[in-house]
Amino acid sequence: MNKFKLALLTLIVVVSSCDVVNNLSSMYNFTKCDFRLSTVDNIRLAGVNVQNVTNFSNLSIMDVARITSAYASNQIPLSFNLNVEVKNPNKEKAVMNGMEWIVLIDNIEMTRGQVSNRIEVMPNNQTAIMPLTLSFDLKKVLTGKSADAVANFGMNLAGSGNRPSRITLKAKPSVVVGGVTFPYPDYITIQNDFGK
């Protein structure tokens, strides 16, 4: 191998290893960000929009019929958007390429999954929103509860101002380097306020 090829190969290895270090560093910065559950929106129970409904009696007859019918068929799909605010106090950019997550409501695990969206948060306390779209069968999770209890559970997810007062998110971010995914070793617990 001539000197030029050897130098080129050395340069590729050095650049590649710098890329690995930079990507892992940006993921580490991401795990050092402050997180909070910002808002919950588009809450739908058995296809019924229950975003601002606090009681079963506030629903129309048609909506009650849809939820009751879903309960009778042993499925009550609940879906909503959970918006997570990420604040980067670091001096460098924070990046993730994907994330495994677990959602708990009132300390009961509801569902888990993963996203492969790249999120970048600029340094010096800049913020970004990380949206998650969640859906699961509420009846399956709350086996043994009455129809009213299940419906009320689904309708009362958001507190005042649509803040997710009863939800906890556990997140494990990852970064992709050279086609290989490197996950953070632990889950980060995210609640309503930064730094909680």
pTM: 0.75
In a domain, 7, yes or no: yes
What span, in angstroms and rounded, lies between the C-alpha atoms of 53 and 127? 30
In a domain, 196, yes or no: no
Report, in angstroms and rounded to the nearest whole number, the Rg of the chain calculated over CA atoms. 22
In a domain, 68, yes or no: yes
In a domain, 64, yes or no: yes
Q: What pLDDT was estimated at residue 6?
A: 42
Residue whose entry in the numeric block shows the structure tokens 């906890």: 168
Q: What pLDDT was estimated at residue 8?
A: 32
Tens digit of pLDDT for each residue in 118-161? 889 999 999 999 999 999 998 888 777 776 777 777 767 666 55
In a domain, 52, yes or no: yes
Section 103-123 average pLDDT: 89
- Domain around 149: 3-190
For the chain, how many structural domains are there in total?
Answer: 1
In a domain, 59, yes or no: yes
What span, in angstroms and rounded, lies between the C-alpha atoms of 106 and 5? 61
In a domain, 195, yes or no: no
In a domain, 96, yes or no: yes
Q: What pLDDT was estimated at residue 16?
A: 45
Strand stretches in the chain, DSSP E:
34-45, 48-49, 77-88, 94-96, 98-105, 108-115, 119-121, 126-137, 167-177, 180-183, 188-190
Mean pLDDT of the chain: 79
